[in-house]
Structure 1
Amino acid sequence: MHAMKRLRIFVLMLGAVLMIFSFNSCLDDDKYPADRYWIRVATVKPTSSTSYYIQLDDSTTLLPVDGSIPYFGLDEERRALVNFTLLSDSIKGYSHAVKVNQIDSILTKSIASGLGAENNVVYGKDPVSLDYVWIAGNYITFQFRTYFGGVKKHYLNLVQTNEKKPYELEFRHHAYDDPKTAEGVGLISFRLNSLPDTEGETVKLKIKCNTFSGDRTYELDYNSAQRIFDPGPSPSSINFQIPK
């Protein structure tokens, strides 16, 4: 029962993620019908223990004036998948007033320290596919795909394995021998505040990952002073390079 529930959650997440990149409407429409909604990856920013606003990855800010209250609490800033309906234009210093139809927390972690010879034991090296990745604000977010059985909880980390090369990281996946019952997709974000300041320069942020086709390295342009990137409505606009 628990296995089926977990797999169902991943299937629902897949549908929501695909809608992010296939939804054709933009936030500049003149009219906001009550039955129209948007789904976006965003950052939930608390302003008190009972109030918050939402910042999209293109810096658009949304003030919730109606709808769902986050079930995960407002004790700290979190990444989330937000389903919302636009109610009005600029309000009290925010880009839009919105009704929050649904809000789900995205697992958000700090970059982990490398453990040398223990990396495979602690962080694992099970294969995983990276569909999309983007940098927005203080976060790097991954849409990943792998196989789940619903028996064991998977462990995902972004690991800094070489302190002398701080912009070279490894995306690690530990499946703990979970049965490969069905393919699932999910989202995870990592905080970038532990990386050194690039001092206005743009550097290559390299992400090494063990995929189902073997080890691959993905490169993104990274500038700590300009960490806003809008993935846009189409996957083709993602700042994500797949090596040949």
Structure 2
Amino acid sequence: MKKAYVVIGICLAALLAYFSSCDDNSKYSLGDFVVSIATVEPTGANGYHIVLDNGKRLLPVHSDIRYMPGSEQRVVVNYTILSDAKDGYDYYVKINDIWNILTKQVIELNEENADSIGNDPIQIHDIWVGGDYLNVDFFFNYGKGEKPHAVNMVKNTLSSEATLNGVDLEFRHNAYNSASSKLYRGFVSFNLKPLQRTDVDSVVISVKVKDWAEEKNYEVVYRYNQAALANMSDNASIPVITSDEYY
């Protein structure tokens, strides 16, 4: 991602002086920073705010980079807290850096798209629900092939298997006949909001994956509109951001 540094001169100095003196927030230092997974919500005229997976809302009031927000875009964000709660936000922040995460919808697998979806081996490193998204940290083999790899989360309409009162999904990988010469790590988030049911406030999601040697199944609980840090696995970490050239 190309980054352009914004020069704001006197205005920045005045803004930082305001936060450090007028608001009595000496507990926050401009040398401190936090890195989190979050969702971007545009606010018009290229403005945006950020919703963390624990439900906290951040308002960027200064940024070291030029960022064009997209609706419902998942990101890894590096930020510095400038102020406590104001105007409906939990924190005013300075954005130090921000990276888009591959963000997709769950799609239906049927006879028409089965070939393009593929079912090549892929390995899940971690999987959890956060911020109404299913987050998947995964490994895949990559080599020079016909085209970039593709990953998708699908509801398989061709399968007769079903979990009672749950949601059955499959994490699919299409390597497009590329050589398996090197191991890469990727990260993707899938929007779960369309899978919500009106008769319950949570649902168990079962994810089937074709691993290197066998099929594996993973189960996660999706609790609607609830802070999600409790659902994050102990092994989960900030994802490695790799080039979307590979998926």
Indicate if the aligned counterparts of 1:37 and 1:84 stay in contact, CA closer than 8 A. yes
TM-score, normalised relative to structure 2: 0.74
Aligned to 1:124: 118
Cα distance in 1 for partners of 2:87, 2:202 equals 34
Amino acid at match of 1:144: F
Counterpart secondary structure, 1:47: strand
The alpha carbon displacement at 1:212 in A equals: 1.6
Q: Percent identity?
A: 32
The alpha carbon displacement at 1:43 in A equals: 0.2
Select 1:63's aligned residue among 40, 59, 63.
59
List, as ranges, runs of 4+ consecutive aligned residues in structure 1 with deviation greater than 4 Å.
163-166
* Map 1:73-92 → 2, pairs under 5 A: 73-92=68-87
Distance 1:140 1:54, change over 3 A: same
- Greater CA drift, 157-166 or 42-51: 157-166
Select 2:45's aligned residue among 46, 49, 54.
49
Indicate if the aligned counterparts of 1:48 and 1:74 stay in contact, CA closer than 8 A. no
Aligned to 2:107: 112
Query: How many corresponding residue pairs?
Result: 206
Indicate if the aligned counterparts of 2:132 and 2:225 stay in contact, CA closer than 8 A. no
Select 2:36's aligned residue among 37, 40, 44.
40
Distance 1:31 1:110, change over 3 A: same
Unaligned residue ranges in structure 2 (runs of 5+): 1-24, 237-247
1:55-86 alpha-carbon deviations (Å, 9 max, x no partner): 11000111111114554x33422111111112
Q: Which has the larger radius of gyration?
A: 2
Cα distance in 2 for partners of 1:218, 1:122 equals 24
Indicate if the aligned counterparts of 2:55 and 2:226 stay in contact, CA closer than 8 A. no
* Map 1:129-148 → 2, pairs under 5 A: 129-148=123-142
Cα distance in 2 for partners of 1:144, 1:49 equals 35
The alpha carbon displacement at 1:97 in A equals: 1.3
1:229 and 2:218 correspond:
no
Cα distance in 2 for partners of 1:86, 1:183 equals 36
Distance 1:38 1:201, change over 3 A: closer
Indicate if the aligned counterparts of 1:70 and 1:103 stay in contact, CA closer than 8 A. no
The alpha carbon displacement at 1:198 in A equals: 5.3
Indicate if the aligned counterparts of 2:41 and 2:70 stay in contact, CA closer than 8 A. no
Distance 1:191 1:65, change over 3 A: same
Aligned to 1:174: 174
1:203 and 2:199 correspond:
no
Cα distance in 2 for partners of 1:237, 1:184 equals 18
Counterpart secondary structure, 2:204: strand
Cα distance in 2 for partners of 1:160, 1:90 equals 40
Cα distance in 2 for partners of 1:43, 1:59 equals 10
* Map 1:11-50 → 2, pairs under 5 A: 31-50=27-46
The alpha carbon displacement at 1:128 in A equals: 1.3
The alpha carbon displacement at 1:195 in A equals: 1.5
Cα distance in 1 for partners of 2:30, 2:91 equals 14
